[in-house]
Structure 1
Amino acid sequence: MMYLLYNILWLSIQHLHLANGQLGIRNSSTDLVPIYQPYFSNLRQNPATFNPALGGQDWGMCCNLVVNESLVIENNTLYIRAGQTFFTGTINDLEEFPRFPCGAKYNGTLSAPHQQFWMPYSWCYNHCPGWPVTKANDLGKWLKPLIAFILPSLIFCLNVPRRRRLELPTSLFSGGSIDISSLPLFILKVPLTSFIVTLDINPIITSGIYEALLDARVLSYLESRSKENSLSAKEKAHTLLSILIGNLDIQAWHSSSLFVHNIPGGVFRRRPSAQLTKPNIDSRIEVPRPLDLITPSHSHSASTSNTSTKIATTGRFKQSSYSIQQRRSIIATKWRLLAMLDSQISFGTSVGAPVLFYIASFIWSVYEVREELGSYVTAHQLAAGMFWMTIPHVALVSCLLLAGNNPNIWQNAVAESLLISDPFTPIDSMRLADTDLESDPGGVRNLHSSEFTSKDPRAIRYTRSIVSKLANRIFELAYKESRFKPAWMWNRGSNKAMWITKLGDEYPYLRGMREEVLDRNFKKDLWTSGFYGFTLYFVPTFFSVLVSYTTPRPGFGCRSLIVFAYGISQLILQLLWLLRWYFSKRDTRGNPNNTWYTVIKSTSIYLWYLIFLFAIFIGTFTSIGGTIFVLTNVLTNCFCAIPAKYWRDRWTNPEALIFVDDSTWEQLYYAEKWWFPAGVIGVVFMTIVAYIGWWYQRSLRQRYYDLVSNIDHVNDIEFEDEEVSDIDIYHIREDTINTIHNT
């Protein structure tokens, strides 16, 4: 009996041995012992070096623990533990790629093992809670992205026009002792400055693009009238001037009128076919007022009151008909306009060359992705670089505009005229009158203004007043010694539209320009600028999300969701910017006395501000907070390591697994398919945007130079000599005034 049992047991063993040999499955290996032994001999049951909630976790040691849960070394042989669920491969797989899975590096080929070492979320939470803080000596994780992407992007912020700036303690730069009492307040200001710099990326881009479209349309309108005598030299000069200073508050209009007051404001434009009984509104000659007769009380209506000062009766009006004094005034105005434009830093100097250096660093990062294929650290750094690419795009848009950013250039051009025309300004005053719109609740409001009117609900106006006072305490005016103040970049497009509207109100002959540039193309330009603004931040944001989405396990995670949420916040801000301005135009069509209209308007304003605050919070948290999380490595934890679709049932779902091995076949596949192409597309996209910006500004500048040179151009049009009686002149003037009034 015992002999029979022995034979049966021996046959069973032989059968199992033969079956294993036929299937090629082994459970042990001696060749892998030298590779795994050093890591197993230094294991700590508690991988954290200090409080894991404060960044003391050792994620590499956690990986070693997972491998130890799967494999064991006994008698100089490596075995797969019986009943383990962490390792999904075989000994043959390990021998095919003889390496330790934790911290494996790319060996130059796409031959790599699959993702084989996994840990459930519950095991990770119990054994490896917290996160591993970035070590100071690990320069590749924090210094490289800081120097390659973040700091260059922040430097581009210096090229973005700002109405206000951070107020630095003057004691820090005084010759006396340093007062450290103001330093704590300064430290509190820095996060607030970062908040302002990063929250309005896309509205800035959209507003800047809209201003560029308005500049191009105004130049096209002037070019279409350059071969006819439909506009006077004064109207051309004032329009060209408004392009350069249209970024200033509308209070600068008075000084702009002084700038062109010596230029003749009319020409004789009556063609031979003109009938005296049917007056031609384009028949006018204006005699300019002397400078000493213009005062603030009537300077705004000077050009309008002189519309029909004198009507010519015979002859032709050529360039040679200008008096010597008028010719000098026109030439001086040309010099000033060109000098103001040339005083601005060129596109290449201000942002073009820095963009080339930024692109160079980006190319190096893309090269590193290729050399370190499969490294999730490099992939996340590339994603962060593409995320920060939106700031250089803001600088590119803001630097292609024709309007100067420094109002002191304009103040220098009209300082003498302002002193002569304003008797209330003390002669020895170094500071002219302050006309800050932010402190003027009764400031100029307009159909195309980007702000809500003073009829807003009291709570909104009170809140806005408190925010304005708080901003005055923390931030000083960027050009506090200047009388003129540039608009926020957020409002640049709408501010330029206010200047164009003012030109149409001041000069009846420019109403056609206002209708063509603003009214007819308002919707088209508004949504076109929104589309291009959306593209400039969507492309880098999309590819940043794509890289993080496929790293290290495909699916939305903490990093990809942070960038995605930032893109959504910018889209919301962009839509709010568009809707606010779009409905401000329709606001005048409503009935303010209607109760329902008032209720709906108040509700809409409250809703607008609530959504605005929500978008600001999301944008600030994802941009500033997300950058801090990436640099400090907070997002390397159990929760962020699993896809977001498993967050809800992560404790019970068997698919809520985290793989821990590095440089696997899946990582190399996604790196070659998505990471490297995404980096290349980012480089190419920024290069194209920089070239288009450079070309667009050069084109606008050249067109501007040509129009300035033709300010006094008058076509040689033959007119029939006709004698006009006093009665005919009276009827012509009366009909002209009525036509202007009806228009």
Structure 2
Amino acid sequence: MRPRSQIITHLFLLSFLYHRPSVALSSHANFTALCEDIRHSMIITDPSLAYNPDFVCGRPYAPDRNPSLPIRIPLTECMQKCPGYDPSNRSVLSQWVGPLVGFLLPALAFVISIPRPFRMWRKDDRFAQHGFLGYLWLFVALLLMALDTVIWIIVVFALAGPLIVGALHEAFIDHAVLDVVEELRTGVNARTALTFTFVGSLEPKAGNLSTEISDDIVHSLHAREKLRAMLALLPSYGSRVGLPIVFYLGASAYTLFDAGSKLGDNDTAHAIAFGLWYGVIVIAATVNCSVLGVDNPASLEAIFFEYVSHIPWGPKPWNFYDSLFQPVWLWDRARVFQKWADELGDNLDPRIKSSILSRSWKFVWCIVAAFLISVPCALACYVSYSTPEAGFGCRSVIHLVYATSQIILILGWFYFSDLIHQNIDHGLVYHVGKIAMYCLCGLTVVVGGMFTAIGGTVMQLVGLFRNCICKAALSYLANYDGALVQVAIDTQAHRDSWRYWRAFGITGICVIAGISIVGWCYQVRTRSRCKTLIEQL
């Protein structure tokens, strides 16, 4: 195979689109056997190497042993002898159990806490059937539920940037509303503003909610009691993400501690990197749990019981909540806030409307969201980058591409949340720009977000990253000159890279813990302020 053809081969290996999957996706590569072949060849050239106890292949790390000597092979020869990948071994737990427990399972606990307006239709009424059909539908429903959860994990991970910036913007609006209410103290505007903080996360037209809050809360003689009840509907920080964060940080700390006994194991290093990368989901869940918006609208119906009893229609089968009132996506709440401002009219203080439309503050939260996304991605990228062979390999590039895609999506959020809400003449330039941004964001979601999130996770678990080009570094794709693949393990370079695992792993744990504490403190303080203001009405 010619070198240029080999370049194309391994590029398509990483994208699952290679035209000869029987070769590129072959799981028959064995780098331990390849190492032994190269070792025997080197012994033939230099017989003295046979008496060196450190000239071995596949020897795991032991603190009382010297590091193994490096054994390298040219990249072209490696791809000829091992054109596929070395699959994860079920008996080697660090190859698949470590990543699975370290980042994939904890993600499940966090994505459940993030509100969403849809779910897969499971036809819950089928559970009332007796006999075989009831058990059969239970099995089908379990499969649908598992698929629904996986899809939601993918959505959250692929769109983490807009989710985070949307939640940050909502938290800012909550803070601005409470500042205004502290000045107003009482009156219709104060009651309207406090009500807006709770129901602003819901669609105002669904169930005619905007009209009902005006009649049943703002102008009610029992407004204070109803607002107090709405505040009590919000789940605590600990019940939503507090306990999952403790387990996540504990598992990360244990993995990092255990890595000290596996210094020559690249799989352990990359498991640490992927655990740091999945910290993005932890940040998204933490920021989301710090806002005052009601996420479960079904519990809100008790406040409007007179109205709900006369509704002739119900929620759609695909709605996540069995309620007339429906939540909106976190990234879409900036638009919904403006709809609420229009619905509430003069009852909503103009300073709150100004905060909703503030372009400067939106840009500030875009920068903050980009920073929150970049930190775990940068830490994960550098751990993979520094793991031998040092350089931008497949894993580090995955982290880099993902961070870039999220920053683009954050800018897309700023573009749409700004133009939609401003009084702009929607001429040809606007529509062309809007179409271009839709295409760019859509391409970014598919290629940058979903491919890196789904593809990167699957390739890490399955072992697709254990191929020649990923071991050598992607910088050699354009030029094979000097490209070598390290096939020995527990070399001095592997042991030296431990300091990066430890330093950046500890940094990542501290960052996630710090963000979690800040989110918890913000939520407690905000709810305390809100409760005090409600009592003063």
TM over 0.5, shorter chain: yes
Q: Could you tell which deviates more after superposition, 162-171 or 624-633?
A: 162-171
Report deviation, 1:567.
1.1
Q: Aligned runs of 1:537-576 on 2, under 5 Å?
A: 537-576=373-412
Q: 1:109 to 1:493 in 2, by over 3 A?
A: farther
> What is the aligned counterpart of 2:192 among 211, 214, 238?
238
Report deviation, 1:200.
0.8
> What is the aligned counterpart of 1:506 among 346, 352, 374?
346
Q: Aligned runs of 1:38-53 on 2, under 5 Å?
A: 53=25
- Contact in 1 for aligned 2:56/2:68 (Cα 8 Å): no
Q: Partner amino acid for 2:381?
A: V
The SS at the match of 1:553 is coil
Q: For 2:234 and 2:463, locate their aligned partners in 1 and report how far apart those are by CA, in whole Å.
A: 42
Q: For 1:513 and 1:540, locate their aligned partners in 2 and report how far apart those are by CA, in whole Å.
A: 33
Q: For 2:150 and 2:492, locate their aligned partners in 1 and report how far apart those are by CA, in whole Å.
A: 42
Runs of 5+ unmatched residues, structure 2: 1-21
Aligned twin of 1:196: 155
> What is the aligned counterpart of 2:214 among 257, 265, 282?
257
- Contact in 2 for aligned 1:246/1:403 (Cα 8 Å): yes
Report deviation, 1:706.
1.0
> What is the aligned counterpart of 2:41 among 58, 63, 69?
69
Given the alignment of the two structures, is residue 671 of structure 1 paired with residue 512 of structure 2, yes or no?
A: no
> What is the aligned counterpart of 2:431 among 586, 602, 606?
602
Report deviation, 1:581.
1.4
Deviations 1:185-215 (A, max 9, x none): 9598676545423321110010001000010
Q: 1:260 to 1:128 in 2, by over 3 A?
A: closer
Report deviation, 1:635.
1.0
Report deviation, 1:113.
5.4
Q: Aligned runs of 1:372-521 on 2, under 5 Å?
A: 372-417=262-307, 425=310, 429=312, 431=313, 476-479=318-321, 481-503=322-344, 505-507=345-347, 510-515=349-354, 517-519=355-357
Report deviation, 1:389.
1.1
Aligned twin of 1:157: 111
Aligned twin of 2:519: 693
The SS at the match of 1:250 is coil
The SS at the match of 2:225 is helix
Given the alignment of the two structures, is residue 583 of structure 1 paired with residue 537 of structure 2, yes or no?
A: no
Q: Partner amino acid for 1:688?
A: G
> What is the aligned counterpart of 2:441 among 612, 626, 630?
612
Given the alignment of the two structures, is residue 206 of structure 1 paired with residue 165 of structure 2, yes or no?
A: yes
> What is the aligned counterpart of 1:60 among 29, 32, 42?
32
Deviations 1:544-574 (A, max 9, x none): 0001111221111111111111111111111
Q: For 2:375 and 2:275, locate their aligned partners in 1 and report how far apart those are by CA, in whole Å.
A: 13
Report deviation, 1:375.
2.0
Q: Partner amino acid for 1:681?
A: T
TM-score normalized with structure 2 length:
0.88
The SS at the match of 1:625 is helix
Q: 1:195 to 1:694 in 2, by over 3 A?
A: closer
The SS at the match of 1:168 is coil
Report deviation, 1:538.
0.9
The SS at the match of 1:71 is helix
Given the alignment of the two structures, is residue 145 of structure 1 paired with residue 35 of structure 2, yes or no?
A: no
The SS at the match of 1:476 is coil
Q: How many residues align?
A: 507
Q: For 1:494 and 1:486, locate their aligned partners in 2 and report how far apart those are by CA, in whole Å.
A: 13
- Contact in 2 for aligned 1:56/1:132 (Cα 8 Å): yes
Aligned twin of 1:636: 466
TM-score normalized with structure 1 length:
0.64
The SS at the match of 1:354 is helix
Runs of 5+ unmatched residues, structure 1: 1-49, 73-78, 82-89, 227-231, 264-328, 420-424, 435-471, 712-743
Aligned twin of 1:136: 90
Q: 1:577 to 1:253 in 2, by over 3 A?
A: same
Q: Partner amino acid for 2:38?
A: V
- Contact in 1 for aligned 2:263/2:498 (Cα 8 Å): yes
Aligned twin of 2:362: 526
Whose RCO is larger (CA < 8 A, sep 6+)? 2
- Contact in 1 for aligned 2:276/2:379 (Cα 8 Å): yes
Max Rg structure: 1
Q: For 2:301 and 2:392, locate their aligned partners in 1 and report how far apart those are by CA, in whole Å.
A: 53
- Contact in 1 for aligned 2:224/2:535 (Cα 8 Å): yes
Q: For 1:610 and 1:513, locate their aligned partners in 2 and report how far apart those are by CA, in whole Å.
A: 33
Aligned twin of 2:5: none
* CA RMSD, Structure 1 to Structure 2 (Å): 2.7
Q: For 2:252 and 2:142, locate their aligned partners in 1 and report how far apart those are by CA, in whole Å.
A: 36
Q: For 2:150 and 2:242, locate their aligned partners in 1 and report how far apart those are by CA, in whole Å.
A: 28
Q: Which has more helix, going by share of residues?
A: 2
Q: 1:169 to 1:549 in 2, by over 3 A?
A: farther
